[in-house]
């Protein structure tokens, strides 16, 4: 029995799907002549998921959504809105979402579109879906929001160790089984900044890396203030704080800012007391839920929700009925800060949510394979025929080339 009021809205189902290959960051560091400690401790990353040319935003999105719908026993016919948030579109005009709509076999009575705002598209889709449900327009139907991205930076650039790939599918509904989101405490922020961008002619992103970190932290301050007021004290009531995770260390910088907002003064990490405060609070409210991010890397718009999956798979029972904060940041920039409450029975779904078996089955790429995937990926959009087996792929839905300017997908 779910005791939640009929008016509660939030995340009813979730699942992650990623590519089959991954790269160990110690191998990348060795290949680039960099101290591995910079990637492992300095950025907090262990591995990053690497998509082959046959694994694109569409195939990853379909895999995640298939998993969410079947694990949570949701009839595809009940989906009335489908939104794919992505930075990594496959066409200037045609949305990823419409391919996904067909491949999932959703009803034609479904509003379907793509949202783009760097890493912010899925949060935009989530709040738009909540509004759609609250307005009454959903008429009992659910929204499917999929975050699907492949993070690509140039070889040898500072961004290279912060790549990753994968999709998170979320079903948004009334009386959600996983997380209720409080619509009265959602705060937004937008400012035009050139911190990270990807021009139409480029497969790889450009970033003003250190500036992007400052933009992210300023957006956190502003979106949080919009959600709860600049002076509000929240942390005592929060079981966990989830942030957008371009690399694991970024969430620590974000949490430091969060603590500084609450106490109204900067932390001085030269002082033992301040260092201890950050280590203890971050170790309790943030760090435990970054295991998946450390293994998978930056999946852009899904990164925040990957941390949510990590929290729910590990601690849904302990946190039932407790509040958590969520902060989504998309460069460029747009951000949202909001508060959620873990559902009483969320722990019933902990194992359904857990991608650990898939991660254990991943294929570890060496640097030669990784660079081949990158090189082949540069021409994949115009290749007539791609063979998934050439990239070690077996069963699944894959992009197999473009014929007559039309992308082809095959389920193998």
The number of CA neighbours under 13 Å toward the Cβ of 209 is: 11
Element housing 236 (H / E) = none
- Min dist CB 253 to ligand CAA, Å, is 7
Nearest CA-CA partner of 9 in 240, 226, 228, 184: 184
- Min dist CB 120 to ligand CAA, Å, is 9
- Min dist CB 59 to ligand CAA, Å, is 22
Residues 376, 361: contact at Cβ < 8 Å? no
Residues 339, 322: contact at Cβ < 8 Å? no
Residue closer to ligand CAA, measured from CB, 24 or 195: 195
- Catalytic, out of 54, 110, 119, 241: 119
Nearest CA-CA partner of 243 in 168, 189, 324: 324
- Catalytic, out of 244, 255, 258, 282: 244
Residue closer to ligand CAA, measured from CB, 49 or 69: 49
Nearest CA-CA partner of 214 in 117, 327, 333: 333
**276 assigned to active site:** no
Indicate the burial class of 260 (C-beta count within 10 angstroms; 0-12, 13-18, 19 or more).
Answer: middle
Residue closer to ligand CAA, measured from CB, 112 or 256: 256
Residue closer to ligand CAA, measured from CB, 74 or 126: 126
**110 assigned to active site:** no
Residue nearest to ligand CAA (CB): 42
- Where do contacts with ligand CAA occur on this chain (CB under 6 A)? 35, 37-38, 41-43, 118-119, 158-159, 162, 195-196, 207, 209-210, 212-213, 216, 244, 246-247, 249-250, 298, 300, 329, 331
Residue closer to ligand CAA, measured from CB, 138 or 213: 213
- Catalytic, out of 22, 54, 55, 87: 87
Where are the extended beta strands (E) located within 69-135?
79-85, 111-115
- Min dist CB 275 to ligand CAA, Å, is 12
**210 assigned to active site:** no
Question: What CA–CA distance (Å, rounded) separates 257 from 275?
Answer: 13
Residues 336, 223: contact at Cβ < 8 Å? yes
- Min dist CB 399 to ligand CAA, Å, is 24
As annotated, the active-site residues are 87, 119, 244
């Amino acid at each position: 029995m779910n005791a939640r009021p009929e008016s509660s809205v939030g995340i009813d189902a979730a699942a992650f799907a990623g590519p089959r290959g991954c790269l160990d960051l110690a191998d990348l560091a060795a290949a680039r002549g960099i101290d591995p400690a910079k990637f492992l401790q300095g950025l907090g990353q262990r591995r990053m998921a690497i998509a082959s040319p046959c694994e694109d935003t569409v195939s990853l999105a379909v895999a995640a959504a298939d998993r969410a719908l079947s694990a949570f026993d949701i009839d595809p016919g009940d989906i009335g809105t489908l939104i794919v948030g992505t930075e990594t579109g496959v066409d200037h005009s045609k949305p990823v979402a419409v391919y996904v709509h067909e491949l999932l076999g959703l009803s034609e009575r479904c509003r379907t579109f793509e949202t783009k705002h760097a890493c912010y598209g899925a949060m935009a889709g989530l709040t738009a879906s909540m509004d759609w449900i609250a307005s009454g327009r959903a008429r009992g139907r659910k929204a499917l929001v999929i975050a699907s991205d492949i993070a690509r930076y140039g070889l040898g650039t500072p961004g290279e160790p912060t790549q990753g790939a994968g999709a998170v599918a979320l079903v948004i509904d009334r009386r959600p089984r996983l997380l209720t989101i409080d619509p009265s405490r959602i705060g937004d922020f937008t400012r035009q900044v050139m911190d990270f961008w990807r021009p139409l002619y480029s497969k790889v992103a450009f970033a003003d890396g250190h500036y992007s970190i400052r933009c992210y932290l300023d957006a956190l301050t502003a979106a949080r203030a919009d959600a709860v007021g600049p002076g509000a004290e929240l942390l005592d009531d929060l079981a966990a704080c989830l942030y957008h995770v371009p690399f694991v260390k970024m969430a620590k910088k974000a949490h430091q800012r969060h603590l500084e907002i609450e106490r109204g003064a900067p932390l001085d990490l030269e002082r033992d007391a301040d260092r201890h405060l950050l280590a203890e609070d971050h170790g309790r409210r943030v760090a435990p839920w970054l295991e998946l991010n450390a293994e998978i890397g930056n999946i852009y718009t899904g990164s925040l929700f990957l941390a949510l999956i990590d929290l729910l798979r590990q601690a849904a029972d302990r946190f039932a009925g407790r509040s958590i904060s969520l902060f989504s940041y998309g460069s460029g920039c747009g951000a949202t800060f909001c508060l959620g409450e873990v559902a009483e029975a969320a722990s019933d779904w902990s194992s359904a949510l857990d991608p650990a078996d898939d991660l254990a089955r991943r294929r570890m790429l060496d640097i030669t394979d990784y660079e081949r995937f990158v090189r082949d990926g540069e021409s994949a959009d115009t290749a007539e025929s791609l063979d998934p087996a050439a990239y070690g792929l077996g069963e699944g839905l894959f992009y197999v080339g473009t014929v007559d300017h039309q992308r082809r997908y095959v389920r193998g």
